[in-house]
Chains A and B, each alone.
Chain A
């Protein structure tokens, strides 16, 4: 049996592979053979997430971390590090602040960039086993609050921590609790908003699926602070696994006496029930959410009165988002001071982002507030797919805006994103590359809002529909420059006059793409051209007669028979019947078909 004592790990992530990490692996293997090191094995790993310094090579067991390794360095690494036992200093990572060499991967600041607070137990414990949650300090925060602290003290701790609502608005959580607490009423409610609706965002689902007890615990703490004896989780029915695990968690907590009558022997009693939503985007808005729970139509109503005064069944109701709740137990255990030491001046703690789109490492990440977009997209995200060029990133979903290259070094927090014309939202981050058309992107989000508008107020119901029609006109090549003015005016009016958050923010994708990519809009209306070749009506497919071999494949795959030509003679596409589906271009083996 072969026994290895030394390992060389080489990053096989997309970014490093593009910089010849495969060749490095081969050269390392050859060098290991050459020096007869039978106890050493070369391993290809997934992405280290340190792509800006790639390719990276890590030596085990001593954790030495080599960066920007070239295939020609392989021999030296094996000879020096393994044979002679000396580190190759010129390949070590240099700390950019102190300019010192960092020999050990554990001391590289990059790996401190992702800090999991809300996701602390996700991927670590078995979510269906309360014992594992308790072994990780579960329910100790609730016990501490009930036994050792007054509700005011708990609220003060949350206020001091600087925690703000993670659902998107960023309202200070402690303040919300205090307002609900101050209202006198015989019955109050606390609600967990698990109606995650942003396209591409799935952090709330992941928390409920990976760590449901943290929500149960935090809701009970919230109940204690606000004086509510009843908690309701409003969750979309299309999250069956999250619902299932939440149900198990509630049942187990009841069995252990951590929910129910006289918790921890105190006179505090608390119970949680689940309410199902049908998956309407507007029901993430708290007044609409409450109406939906009451069995009414999911429509927003004017605030004030705020739910903290007049909420579910007319009772004071405190609504918080899943991720907000997930932070609460840690804050009580670690203290407000610890929590507020993380993040920026006005945004404390961490934020979970769902990284999606044209990025290599699609995934769920959690970073301290103040991390830059560049660190997220090019560091943790591993850069843009297929080596393409970064164009923009959409944050805040259909309510947010796009951020461009000039925003890459912007520290992410609530206020910076707002002033850059976007918003935090629930944390969806959709990365776009050079092939994405920004006008079409704005139209995509408008599709969504038009579909999801509850229809109660005219600006949102009619205005968004009109916005969508103008965008449709532009992307089909019939737009004029006047349309751009109308687009901007209408967008501004909707923003100022819509009733709830959905309508007030729905024109954001239009406005921010107009601000950042006005030239693309101009190309659509002036030249009737889509620079990214995404708008079908504005593109035309051609066959390059010099490259076409007349193999007839394109003619056979064309669904509308728009391609004609004889064998071994260059084919022709009839632009009148072509539906621009792109199938021919995909199938052509000679790269003879191009789009213009």
Chain B
């Protein structure tokens, strides 16, 4: 691991990390790198987010869909846990709530494969401070 020695080091690192995030976001090949974030704070996990995350990975593997599944913190929609966010390449991210195994199948088959929206979308109700 290279240590960060100066502020410039860190800024260079930030640029390259941003570029790699960007690459993922701007990818134009729709069957590549779908990004799925599972809200995994204690409350999400208590509502079954861990099982949902492993089930996502399992089904995506089975169906041979190239996707990136990661965990993230609390999105704030505690009433609708487990919640997940899906970002298809070139599209705005969408949040789905009350995700169970049936919903996972539906999301994968309809939204991820065909881009068709399904019931259960949670409209994002906040703006977050973005990087400079």
Contact of B14 among A43, A137, A330, A360 (CB under 8 A): A137
Give, as a whole number of angstroms, the nearest-CB distance from B27 to chain A.
16
Of A4, A117, A124, A333, which contacts B117 at CB under 8 A?
A4
Q: How far is the CA of A114 from the CA of B5 in the complex (A)?
A: 37
Q: When A45-B122, A46-B123, A116-B128 are in contact, do A135 and B73 touch as well, CB less than 8 Å?
A: no
A46-B129 contact in complex given A127-B71, A211-B73, C-beta closer than 8 Å: no
For window 24-48 of chain A, which residues contact chain B by CB distance below 8 Å?
A: 41, 43-48
Count residues of chain B with CB under 8 A from any CB of chain A. Answer: 53
Nearest chain-A residue to B95 (Cβ)?
A46
Kindly provide the distance from the CB of A66 to the nearest chain B CB, expressed in whole angstroms. Answer: 14
For the complex, what is the distance from the CA of A206 to the CA of B13, rounded to whole Å? 27
- Chain B neighbourhood of A121, CB < 8 A: 73, 128
A334 CB within 8 Å of chain B: yes
**CA distance in complex: A48, B122 (Å):** 7
Q: A257 contacts B120, CB within 8 Å?
A: no
Query: What residue of chain B has the Cβ atom nearest to residue A382's Cβ?
Result: B79
Please pick, from A58, A128, A362, A365, the residue contacting B126 in the complex, using a CB distance under 8 A.
A365
Q: How far is the CB of B75 from chain A (nearest CB, A)?
A: 3
Q: Could you tell me the distance between the alpha carbons of A122 and B73 in the complex, rounded to whole angstroms?
A: 5
Contacts of A2 in B (CB 8 A): 114, 116
Which residues in B have some Cβ–Cβ distance to A below 8 Å?
1, 3-7, 10-11, 13-14, 17-18, 20-21, 37, 39-43, 45, 70-80, 85, 97-98, 114-123, 125-132
CB of A173 within 8 Å of the partner chain:
no
Distance in Å: Cβ of B117 to nearest Cβ of chain A: 5
Which A residue sits closest to B123, measured CB to CB? A48
Partner of B123, one of A49, A112, A129, A139: A49
Q: Contacts A2-B116, A44-B120 given: A136-B131 contact, CB under 8 Å?
A: yes
Q: Is there contact, CB below 8 Å, between B42 and A116?
A: no
**Chain A contacts to B: CB under 8 angstroms:** 1-4, 7, 9, 11-12, 41, 43-49, 58, 60, 111-112, 114-117, 119-129, 131-132, 134-140, 143-144, 146-148, 202, 205-207, 209-211, 239, 241-242, 255-258, 264-265, 330, 333-334, 360-366, 380
Question: By the criterion CB–CB under 8 Å, are A9 and B41 in contact?
Answer: no
With contact pairs A43-B117, A123-B75, A255-B1 given, residues A131 and B129 touching in the complex (Cβ less than 8 Å): no
Partner of B129, one of A116, A125, A257: A116
B121 near A147 with CB under 8 A, answer no
- Report A-chain residues with C-beta under 8 Å of the C-beta of B117: 4, 7, 9, 41, 43, 60
A-chain residues with CB within 8 Å of residue B40 when the two chains form the complex: 209
**Which of B1, B71, B121 is close to A46, meaning CB atoms less than 8 Å apart?**
B121
Other A-B pairs, 20, CB within 8 Å; known A135-B20, A202-B43, A363-B78: A3-B115, A41-B116, A46-B120, A47-B123, A48-B125, A112-B127, A120-B128, A120-B129, A122-B75, A124-B73, A132-B17, A134-B10, A139-B10, A147-B6, A202-B42, A206-B41, A264-B7, A360-B79, A361-B77, A364-B78
Which of A129, A146, A258, A264: most chain B Cβ within 10 A? A264
CA distance A147 to B4 in the complex (A): 13
With A256-B3, A258-B4 known as contacts, the answer to whether A209 contacts B41 (CB < 8 A) is: yes
